[in-house]
Chain A
Amino acid sequence: MAILLEYLFNGALLGVIYALVAVGFTLFFGVLDVIKFSHGDVLTLGAYSGLAAFVSLELLGLDLPVVSLIFVLVVAMLVTGLAGIAIGQFFVVPMRGSPAFNILLMTLMIGTAIHECIRLFVPGGANPKAFPTLLPRTPIEIGGAYIRLDSLLLLVLGIGVIVVTNWMVRHTKLGLAIRAVAQDGDTAQIMGIPFRRVVLATFALGSMLAGVAGVMNGLYYSEINFNVGVLLGVIGFSSAVVGGLGSIWGAIIGGFSFAALQTVWVLFFPEMSGYRDVFAFTTIIVLMTIWPTGIIAERYSERV
C-alpha cells in the first residue's frame, strides 16, 4: 500500500512535468496550427540556464535556498521565453502557409541546433551535469509511505503553474486574445487583435512553461543532460495529441496519462523497467489509431 502511494506520487510528479510541456504544444498549435518541435530543446535550454543562474549566484557567494530557487526559475523562464519569441518571430511566423511538415522539420532542426550548442559549447556539456539541490529533502511520512519534501513542493509548484496558466488563458485579456486567434486567426485580425503580438506572446508563455518544466526535471532527477529535451518533447507532444491538440485540459490529462502508463508498467513489470518507454509509446500509437484526433476531439474542421 505504502509502495503504491509512492508510485502514485512519483507518477503524479512526472505527469505534472509532462503536462507542462504538453500545454506548450497545445498553445502553439492553438494559435498557429503548427507543431513547434523545438519545444523539448527549449526545455533543455531552460534547465541549463537555470543551472547557469545558480552557478553565478554561487560565485557571488549568495546562498539562500528560497531566493536561489526563485532566481533560477526566473532566469530559466526568461531565457526560454525569449527563445520562444525568437523562434516564433524569425522562423515559425514567417513560415506560415508553407507545408506543415516543413515547419515541423525546421523546428526539429532548430531544436537539434539548440541542444548541439549545449553539448558543444557548455563546458562538459556532453556529459550529464549535476543539478543543485534547492529544496529540502526531508522525508515526510504519509500513510506509511516516505515522500521527499522537495518532490512534494515540486508537485505543488507544477500544479500551481498549470492553474495560473489556465486562469490566464481563461480570464485575462491576453488569454481572450489567444483564444480569439485560436478560433480563427483571420477574423481575429480583422477585429483588430494584433495577430503577431498575440502569437509571439503565446510562444513566450508556452516556452516559459517549458523553462519551469526543465528546472523541475533537473531538481527531480538532480541531474540534467543535453538531450533530455528530445524525449521530453516527444512525450509532451504525444500527451498533447492524445488529449486532443488545442485543448489545455486535454494536454493536462494527456500528460498525466503518459506518466500513468510508464508508472503502471514499472509497477507491474519491475524487472523489465527498460521497456517502459517502449510500452508507453506503443500504447500511444494504439490510442491514436483508435482516436485519431485525441480523446478530447480537436476543434478543427477543414473548410473546402
Chain B
Amino acid sequence: MSKLFSADNVSVRFGGLQALDKLSLDIDEGTIIGLIGPNGSGKTTFFNAVTGLCRTAGGQILVDGEDIAGLHPRHVYQRGVSRTFQRSRLCLSLSVFDNVVIGRQNALDLTLFGNLFRRGRFIESVRENHDRVRALLSTFSEPLAARTFDPLHTLSMIDRRRIEVCRALIANPRLLLLDEPSAGMTPDETHEFMSDILKVRGDHPRMSIIIIEHEMDVIQRVADRCVVLNFGKKVAEGTFDAVVADPWVQEAYLGSS
C-alpha cells in the first residue's frame, strides 16, 4: 500500500490558542483512521486545516507528495479530498438532488454555452446525474432515494446526515473526512449508517477515510488505526486496542479511574 496523505507537524493558532500543535498523521490508501479526543481538542480544526478553511501556522499537508497547506478549499477538493461538517452545512432551500449533485462539481459542464444553448445535452446529463444520486441515496435509504426533489428542510435530521455524506461521497474522493457523522443518531441508526458507509466504500476500495467519532464502539468497528488528540497534540496512536490500553487515554479521555 502507498501513502496517500500525510500531515507533517501541522500547527494552527487562533490568537493565543494553540488549536493544533505539531500534529503528524499518515494514511495509506484504502484505510480508515479514527480521530478521537475530548471536546475542543482540535479534531475539527484539523479537518479545517486540511480543507483550506483555516490557515496553518506551520507544517506540511501532503496529498500524493504535493503540499496542499494554504490552498484554496476549491483546489483541495480538486485533489480528491471531500468532507462532511459537524454542524450540517446543507442548503435548506434547495432540493435533495441539488444538495448532493453539487459534490460532482468536477464532472459537471459549467460553461455558459453548454448550460444555456445545449439544453438537450444538459437534460441528458441531468438524467445521468439523477440516476447516480438516486443510486447512492438508495444505498443509505430507499425512501430517501424516492425524495430527490423534496426541499431539504422537510427532511429529518438523520436523512440530512445521510445527504451530507452522500454529497461528500459522490465526488468520488480519495480521502474522505467525516466529522461526527452519526451525531444525534440512536445506536441502532448509527450502526446501520456505518454499515452503509462501509458498503459504499466496498465499491471504492482505494478510498481512505478519517472519521471523528465520540462513540468508541463505532471507532472499534470501523477504524484500522486510531489517533488521539488532546489540546491539539497527538497523545496516542495505534490500533484501537493499543490506544484504549494506553494509560493516558484511559485516564484523560475515557475517564476511567
The reply to whether A and B meet directly (CB within 8 Å) is yes
B17-56: contact bitstring with A at CB < 8 Å (1 yes, 0 no)?
0000000000000000000000000001000100001100
The residues in A between 272 and 304 inclusive whose CB is less than 8 angstroms from any CB of B are 301, 304
User: How many chain B residues touch A (Cβ–Cβ < 8 Å)?
Assistant: 7
The answer to whether B48 touches A301 (Cβ under 8 A) is no
The answer to whether B85 touches A304 (Cβ under 8 A) is yes
Cα-based distance from A140 to B48 in the complex (angstroms): 63
User: How many chain A residues touch B (Cβ–Cβ < 8 Å)?
Assistant: 2
The answer to whether A304 touches B53 (Cβ under 8 A) is yes
Q: Which residues of B contact A304 (CB under 8 A)?
A: 44, 48, 53-54, 85, 89
Whether B149 is near chain A, meaning CB under 8 Å from some CB there, is: no
Q: Which residues of B contact A301 (CB under 8 A)?
A: 14
Q: Which residues of A contact B54 (CB under 8 A)?
A: 304
The residues in B between 57 and 111 inclusive whose CB is less than 8 angstroms from any CB of A are 85, 89
A203-243: contact bitstring with B at CB < 8 Å (1 yes, 0 no)?
00000000000000000000000000000000000000000
Q: Which residues of A contact B14 (CB under 8 A)?
A: 301
Cα-based distance from A28 to B76 in the complex (angstroms): 37
Cα-based distance from A304 to B53 in the complex (angstroms): 8
Q: Which residues of A contact B48 (CB under 8 A)?
A: 304
Q: Which residues of A contact B85 (CB under 8 A)?
A: 304
Q: Which residue of A lies closest to B53 (CB)?
A: A304
Cα-based distance from A301 to B14 in the complex (angstroms): 9
Cα-based distance from A301 to B54 in the complex (angstroms): 10
Cα-based distance from A301 to B44 in the complex (angstroms): 16
Cα-based distance from A304 to B54 in the complex (angstroms): 9
Cα-based distance from A128 to B13 in the complex (angstroms): 55
Cα-based distance from A301 to B17 in the complex (angstroms): 14
B119, chain A: closest CB distance, angstroms: 31
The residues in A between 91 and 134 inclusive whose CB is less than 8 angstroms from any CB of B are none
Q: Which residue of B lies closest to A302 (CB)?
A: B53
Cα-based distance from A301 to B85 in the complex (angstroms): 18
Q: Which residues of A contact B53 (CB under 8 A)?
A: 304
Q: Which residue of A lies closest to B48 (CB)?
A: A304
Cα-based distance from A301 to B89 in the complex (angstroms): 18
B56, chain A: closest CB distance, angstroms: 15
B131, chain A: closest CB distance, angstroms: 32
A147, chain B: closest CB distance, angstroms: 46
Q: Which residue of A lies closest to B15 (CB)?
A: A301
Q: Which residue of A lies closest to B85 (CB)?
A: A304
Q: Which residue of B lies closest to A301 (CB)?
A: B14
Q: Which residue of A lies closest to B14 (CB)?
A: A301
Cα-based distance from A301 to B48 in the complex (angstroms): 14
Q: Which residue of A lies closest to B47 (CB)?
A: A304
Q: Which residues of A contact B89 (CB under 8 A)?
A: 304
Q: Which residues of A contact B44 (CB under 8 A)?
A: 304
A183, chain B: closest CB distance, angstroms: 12
B74, chain A: closest CB distance, angstroms: 15
By a beta-carbon cutoff of 8 Å, the part of chain A in contact with chain B is 301, 304
What are 7 A-B residue pairs whose CB atoms fall within 8 Å in the complex?
Answer: A301-B14, A304-B44, A304-B48, A304-B53, A304-B54, A304-B85, A304-B89
The 7 closest A-B pairs by CB, nearest first: A304-B53, A304-B48, A304-B85, A301-B14, A304-B54, A304-B44, A304-B89
